[in-house]
C-alpha cells in the first residue's frame, strides 16, 4: 500500500464531510445561544460543508483571499446574531475554520506524521489529541468563566446584559477593591500568609529528610513506610480532618495557630516526598561516597553535594505544599478557629452565608497565584532534567 510523504489534496466529499462535522460541533453552541440546538447542528454542517467544497474548487492558489473572506463572513454573521460578542466569536471561528479547511483539504495533516501510518492510525492520532483537548476545555472552562465575572459591576454571579454587550459600564473593579480593603478579607489573607510559609517549611524539612532516607537501599519496609507517609494524599480529606480534630483536641492545640500549621504541614509532606524522590532517581550516589572519602561529614555532604542537585525537586515540593496550605479549607474548618479564618475559609463562608461576589475576585487572584507557582514548578522541572542530562539544553 502506498504511503504519503507530503501533502496531497484530498477528495472533495471527504473534505466537505469532515468540515461539516466541525461546523455541526460549532452549531451546537450557536444553536444553544439562539434557542435551537438541532437547527444549529444542521445549519452548521451544511454551511461549512458547502464553504469547504467551494474553497477546494477554487484551489490553494487563492487560499489567502478565501480565508479572509471566511473570517469577514463569519464576523459579520456573528455581529448580526449576537452583537459585539458574536462578532468576536465569528472572527475566531472564521480564522480557525479557514485554517482547518486547507489543513484537511490539502492533506497537510499528514506532513508532520511518519509516512508509514495507516489512515486508521492517523485518525486515532488526531482523535486522541482532540479528546485530550476537549477534556482540557471541560476542566478549564469553569476557571475561565470566573475570571470575567469578577469584573462584574453588579453584585451578581451571572453575566449581565451590559457585560454580554461588552459595555464598559458593565465592568468594574469594585469586588477587587472590597477584597483589598474589607477587614474580613484582609484578615483572612493575613492568616493564610502567616500560616502557609511556616507549614511549607515544616513540610519541606520533614519531607526531604524522609525522601532521602527512603532512597537508601538498606532501609527495611520502604514501600510500607512510603504508603504511610503519603496517606494524607490518598485518604479522603474529611477523614484526615476528623482524625486530626480528635487527636489535636487530646493534646490541646485545636483552634490554635500551631494546630493549623501542623495540620497543613501534614497535608504538604506527601507532595515534598514525591517530588524529591523523583529527583533522587537520577542522583549519583557515588558523589556522596566520594565526599565521605574526602573527609566530609554527613551534614556537609548533604548541603554541599546532595542539596544543590536535588534543589529543583525540593523547591517544586515546597511550591506544591504552599499551594496546598494556601488553598485548603476542610481541615481548617475542623482544627481552626474564628480568629484563624484563612482565605479559603472566608470564601466558603462568603458563599454559604453572605453570597458575596468578592469571592470571584479572590478566586481569580488565587488562580493567578497558582498559575505563577505551577509555571515555576515546570521551569524547575526542565532545569532539573537539563542538570541531570535527561533533556537537551
CB atoms within 10 A of CB 331: 24
Cell 486530626 belongs to residue: 244
Q: Residues with Cβ < 8 Å from 82, sequence gap 6 or more?
A: 33, 89
pLDDT of res. 206:
93
pLDDT band at 200 (very low <50, low <70, confident <90, very high): very high
- pLDDT tens-digit series, residues 104-159: 888 888 888 888 888 888 889 888 988 998 888 888 888 888 888 888 888 877 77
Q: Which of 97, 117, 137 is the last residue of a domain?
A: 117
Calculate mean pLDDT across residues 220-234.
Answer: 85
| pLDDT recorded at residue 3 | 45
For residues 183-192, average pLDDT: 89
pLDDT tier at 2, thresholds 50, 70, 90? very low
pTM of the model: 0.69
Residue 245 has pLDDT above 80, yes or no: yes
What is the pLDDT confidence band of residue 1, given thresholds at 50, 70 and 90?
very low
User: Is 109 in the same domain as 211?
Assistant: no
Asked if residue 99 is part of any domain, the answer here is yes
Phi-psi category of residue 83: left, alpha or beta, with phi > 0 → left and psi -120 to 50 → alpha: left
Q: Which domain holds residue 338?
A: 183-387
Residue 152 backbone dihedrals phi, psi, to 5 degrees: -65, 130
Give the closest residue to 343 by CA, choosing from 317, 369, 319. 369
- The answer to whether residues 219 and 351 belong to one domain is yes
Instruction: Supply φ then ψ for residue 264, to 5 degrees.
Output: -70, -35
Torsion angle (degrees, nearest 10) of CA 376, 378, 384, 387: -90
pLDDT of residue 4: 47
**Chain centroid to CA 277:** 23
Residue 228 located in a structural domain: yes
- For the chain, the average pLDDT equals 83
Residue 145 within any structural domain of the chain: no
Asked if residue 154 is part of any domain, the answer here is: no
> If you ran DSSP here, which 8-state letter would residue 171 be given?
B
What pLDDT score does 157 carry? Answer: 76
374 in any annotated domain? yes
Amino acid at each position: 500500500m502506498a504511503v504519503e510523504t507530503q501533502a496531497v489534496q484530498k477528495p472533495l466529499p471527504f473534505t466537505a464531510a469532515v468540515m461539516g462535522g466541525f461546523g455541526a460541533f460549532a452549531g451546537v453552541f450557536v444553536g444553544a445561544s439562539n434557542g435551537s440546538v438541532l437547527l444549529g447542528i444542521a445549519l452548521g454542517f451544511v454551511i461549512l460543508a458547502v464553504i469547504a467544497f467551494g474553497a477546494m474548487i477554487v484551489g490553494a492558489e487563492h487560499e489567502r483571499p478565501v480565508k479572509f473572506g471566511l473570517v469577514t463572513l463569519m464576523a459579520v454573521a456573528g455581529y448580526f446574531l449576537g452583537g459585539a460578542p458574536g462578532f468576536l466569536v465569528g472572527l475566531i471561528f472564521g480564522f480557525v475554520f479557514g485554517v482547518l479547511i486547507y489543513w484537511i483539504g490539502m492533506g497537510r495533516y499528514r506532513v508532520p506524521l511518519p509516512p508509514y501510518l495507516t489512515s486508521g492510525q492517523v485518525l486515532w492520532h488526531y482523535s486522541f489529541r482532540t479528546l485530550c483537548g476537549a477534556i482540557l476545555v471541560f476542566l478549564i472552562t469553569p476557571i475561565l468563566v470566573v475570571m470575567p465575572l469578577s469584573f462584574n459591576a453588579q453584585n451578581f454571579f451571572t453575566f449581565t446584559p451590559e457585560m454580554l454587550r461588552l459595555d464598559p459600564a458593565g465592568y468594574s473593579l469594585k469586588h477587587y477593591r472590597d477584597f483589598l480593603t474589607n477587614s474580613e478579607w484582609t484578615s483572612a489573607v493575613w492568616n493564610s500568609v502567616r500560616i502557609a510559609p511556616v507549614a511549607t517549611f515544616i513540610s519541606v524539612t520533614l519531607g526531604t529528610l524522609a525522601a532521602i532516607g527512603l532512597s537508601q537501599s538498606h532501609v527495611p519496609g520502604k514501600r510500607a513506610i512510603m504508603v504511610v507517609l503519603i496517606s494524607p494524599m490518598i485518604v479522603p480529606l474529611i477523614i484526615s480532618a476528623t482524625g486530626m480534630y480528635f487527636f489535636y483536641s487530646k493534646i490541646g492545640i485545636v483552634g490554635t495557630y500551631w494546630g493549623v500549621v501542623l495540620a497543613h504541614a501534614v497535608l504538604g509532606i506527601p507532595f515534598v516526598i514525591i517530588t524529591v524522590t523523583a529527583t533522587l532517581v537520577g542522583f549519583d550516589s557515588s558523589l556522596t561516597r566520594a565526599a565521605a572519602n574526602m573527609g566530609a561529614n554527613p551534614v556537609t555532604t548533604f548541603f554541599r553535594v546532595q542539596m544543590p542537585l536535588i534543589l529543583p525537586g525540593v523547591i517544586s515540593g515546597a511550591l506544591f505544599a504552599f499551594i496546598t496550605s494556601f488553598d485548603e479549607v476542610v481541615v481548617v474548618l475542623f482544627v481552626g478557629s474564628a480568629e484563624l479564618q484563612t482565605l479559603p475559609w472566608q470564601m466558603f463562608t462568603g458563599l454559604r452565608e453572605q453570597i458575596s461576589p468578592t469571592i470571584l475576585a479572590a478566586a481569580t487572584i488565587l488562580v493567578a497565584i497558582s498559575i505563577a507557582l505551577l509555571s515555576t514548578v515546570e521551569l524547575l522541572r526542565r532545569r532539573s532534567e537539563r542538570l541531570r542530562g535527561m533533556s537537551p539544553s
